[in-house]
Amino acid sequence: MEFLVFIVVAAVAVAASIMVVLQRNAMYSALFLVLAFFCFAVFYVLLGAYFLAVVQVAVYAGAIMVLMLFVIMLLNVAQPEPPDRRLGMLRPFGAIVAAVLVFELLAAVGRSYVSPAAGAAAAVPTPAAAAGATLASSTLRPATAAATATPAAGQLTVGAATAGHTQLLAATLFTRYLFPFEVTSVLLLGAILGATILARKRPEVA
């Protein structure tokens, strides 16, 4: 069943991505990209990253693509592109390079052997069970009964606590990766300032 979902979603994602690249109308490209983002969210659910799937839909499909669609409609650039003028001769080389890249990447993936981790080899690689075996920075010991155990009632207790995926992710994020988290917030502040200053109307010079 999981294989079937994976195959179907992978086919839809690849088809949507090809349509993003090939569509002449930027609006259609954006909508196909939203479809591709939803396919990525399904992949994250298949991989057990439920929080990331929700964040993918909320941030990428819900915020970034909406912003892009606003700009596309604001600048009115949704017309089909005119034929190439100067670099027309070099365009096919881009397709050739991309095809070579696909071949190389698939060859690298096919020739490699991703060995399973020692702690997770015997058990099924669910986030709860695997994180309990190898999570070094947290003292959570989530129950290994179910993959999506309900989160504890606000308390992170050592021992027989049941923790959901979001809770485990947050436990690592706010302990080991606290400094990058704070730096990211400063980065977002800089982005807000930069975008506001760049996009404001300039006063007309007399």
DSSP 118: T
Q: How far is the CB of 206 from other proteins (least distance, A)?
A: 18
Q: How far is the CB of 152 from other proteins (least distance, A)?
A: 15
Please say whether the beta carbons of 164 and 150 come within 8 A.
yes
Q: How far is the CB of 154 from other proteins (least distance, A)?
A: 20
Report the sign of the C-alpha dihedral through residues 148, 149, 151, 156, in that order.
Answer: negative
Strand ranges inside 33-190, DSSP E = none
Q: Residues of 168-205 as b/e, b for ≥16 C-beta within 10 angstroms?
A: bbbbbeeeeeeeeeeeeeeeeeeeeeeeeeeeeeeeee
Q: How far is the CB of 197 from other proteins (least distance, A)?
A: 8
By beta-carbon proximity to other proteins, the closer residue of 81 and 139 is: 81
By beta-carbon proximity to other proteins, the closer residue of 153 and 198 is: 198
By beta-carbon proximity to other proteins, the closer residue of 91 and 158 is: 91
By beta-carbon proximity to other proteins, the closer residue of 157 and 181 is: 181
For the chain, the maximum distance between any two Cα atoms, rounded to a whole number of angstroms, is 75
